[in-house]
Amino acid sequence: MNELVRTVSVKKTLYELAAAKVGQHVCCSTLQKTNPPLDEKTLRVVAYNAFPRDEEHVRVISELSDNRPEYWNGGKHLFKDGYVKRIKQIGFLLAAVVEDNCHGKSASVTVAFEKQRITSTHCSLCNYLWCTHIVAAIVYRIRKPSKVLHHSPLTDALLPLTKEQLQQLLQFTITRNPGQLLCHVFEDLDKVRNRSESINLTQGYPDPTFGLHSDEESTDQLSIKRIGRLPFFQDRDLPSNGNKTCCSLTDQDAFMSSRYLSRKEKCMKTAIELLRKGDINLSGEVFIQLAHYFFRVQDQLNTSERIFMLNIERWFSLFIASCKGPIREKMLSVALKYNRNFVEKNYTPHEGEMTMRSIKLKKDRTDYNDNVINNVMGENRFGPFYEAILAHFQNSIPEALQLLYDKFTDNSLHLFETHMKNLWT
Ligand SMILES: [Zn+2]
């Protein structure tokens, strides 16, 4: 078996392996600046490898926009039933026509991507980040990449054309839809003729098939922005289920498989799934938005919401103890902000709240003596997120947090949640 795997793997050339890695890890803005520029064939291979491969990962991200599950399943059905037509990849843009029997129309779909992430989506029939038509095109490209025609980015495809060929192309294209295109073409023609127009003062030309425009927001940013708006978690939440919140770490399997979650719970579930998929940046951003929400409404929390908030604190602790990079630092600064803010408000928690607040962590004293470790970051041991801050000092992932990540239950959590309910009810 190992021999077979080795034989198959050596068939890929070093060039193909390198191009695959570049597609996976290098963003379009960096690729555009390479000097000398990548040749047309290499760009095509890199772009081929830049489309997401993990369908489940895309599905989890799409859930952030609060779409109902039928969007994803509906898209898969459109793909399976052969409604995706004229699908092609041009550089880092997927374009397809998806037939829609319900509307009696066809949807023109475009999906931009890089580094194996979807960065922007558009559907001519719908106004959502993710709709059945967009999902159908994405699923098609992931499952049948060899059936999709691949072209170089627009700039590279136009570059070898002669002046006559460019004129021919432009006039043939306008003739397809003069009503829609002629106005745009002549508006831009006037700008091109006027040397003082901004389009003549910037270098290069916009290319929608080669990364997002600098002032364009990605689907990830748009989703996070949406979650960050206060009404997001307040609108259309499921009716309160009282103290029987699903969001209990003592029954994580039930929580993760539940179909009846409020928006807050659903977002937390998505953040956990993203973390387990290794998408730490987006996962961390979702946890941060959840923390912001709870601190904005902290005076109105009921018991189950307070326990929910403590669960978020636990995930902050796990994140800070185990992840690296800018998102970890961002989460630590959020934890410190809320922890210190409580100092200013002279917040005095109940003794039980202080000792049972979250998973018990001890400061790792290997590298510090007691004097240095005490309030080294100005943290308040009575404030929220105290243990998330202590997680910063851990040399290894504490067992309780590892259990949390591995979906196992620490027995002390049962006692903890019971205690918290008694304390607040
Ligand atoms: Zn649509």
> How many whole angstroms from 51 Cα to the centroid of ligand 1?
20
CA of 93 to the centre of ligand 1 (A): 17
- Å from CA of 128 to ligand 1 middle: 7
Ligand 1 ion: residues within 5 Å (CB):
107, 123, 125-126, 131, 133
Q: Is 358 left (phi over 0), alpha (psi -120 to 50) or beta?
A: beta
Query: How far away, in angstroms, is 109 Cα from ligand 1 center?
Result: 7
Written as one string, the DSSP assignment of 165-225 is: HHHHHHHHHHHHSHHHHHHHHHHHHHHHH-TTSHHHHSSS---TTSS--TTPPPHHHHHHH
For the stretch 153-167, pLDDT in tens is 998 889 889 999 999
C-alpha 73 – ligand 1 centre gap (Å): 14
Ligand 1 centroid–CA 129 distance in Å is 9
Retrieve residue 168's tokens.
Answer: 């021919």
- For the record, the structure tokens of 334 come out as 């959020």
Ligand 1 center from residue 102 Cα (angstroms): 11
Each domain of the chain, given as residue ranges in start order, spans 1-33+40-153, 244-424
76 CA distance to ligand 1 centroid (A)?
13
Q: What are phi and psi of 159, to 5 degrees?
A: -55, -45
Q: What is the pLDDT of residue 113?
A: 97
Distance 8 CA to ligand 1 centre (A): 40
Q: Which of 66, 62, 65, 101 is nearest to 83 (CA)?
A: 101
Is residue 109 exposed (0-12), middle (13-18) or buried (19+ Cβ within 10 Å)?
buried
Q: Quick check: 206 pLDDT over 50?
A: yes
Residues shown for the chain: 425
Distance 187 CA to ligand 1 centre (A): 29
**Percent of the chain predicted with pLDDT > 70:** 81
What's the sign of the alpha-carbon dihedral 312, 317, 322, 323?
positive
The three-state secondary structure class of 90 is strand
Pairing of strands 117-123, 105-114: antiparallel
**Cα gap 122→124, rounded to integer Å:** 7
pLDDT at 154: 92
Per the CB < 8 A criterion, the answer to whether 46 and 22 are in contact is yes
What pLDDT band is residue 53 in, cutting at 50, 70 and 90? very high
Q: CB atoms < 10 A from the CB of 252, how many?
A: 20
In this prediction, residue 175 has a pLDDT band, given cuts at 50, 70 and 90, of: very high
pTM here?
A: 0.83
Q: Say how many Å lie between the CA of residue 124 and the centre of ligand 1.
A: 7
Distance 52 CA to ligand 1 centre (A): 20
* Burial of residue 86, with CB atoms counted within 10 A of its CB: 0-12 exposed, 13-18 middle, 19 or more buried: exposed
Is the pLDDT at 346 greater than 70, yes or no?
A: no
The whole-number pLDDT of residue 406 equals: 79
| Distance in Å, CA 27 to ligand 1 centroid | 27
Ligand 1: distance of its center to the CA of 116 in Å?
Answer: 22
- Would you say residue 353 has pLDDT above 60? no
Residue 242 pLDDT > 50, yes or no?
no
Going from the Cα of 281 to the center of ligand 1, the distance in angstroms, rounded, reads 28
Alpha carbon distance 290, 272 (integer Å)? 12
Q: What is the pLDDT of residue 203?
A: 76
Ligand 1 center–CA 107 separation, angstroms: 6
Mean pLDDT along residues 176-180: 88
Longest dimension (CA), the chain: 82
CA of 89 to the centre of ligand 1 (A): 18
Cα–Cα dist 409/387, whole Å: 19
Question: Ligand 1 centroid to 155 CA: how many Å?
Answer: 28
CA 134 to centroid of ligand 1, rounded, Å: 6
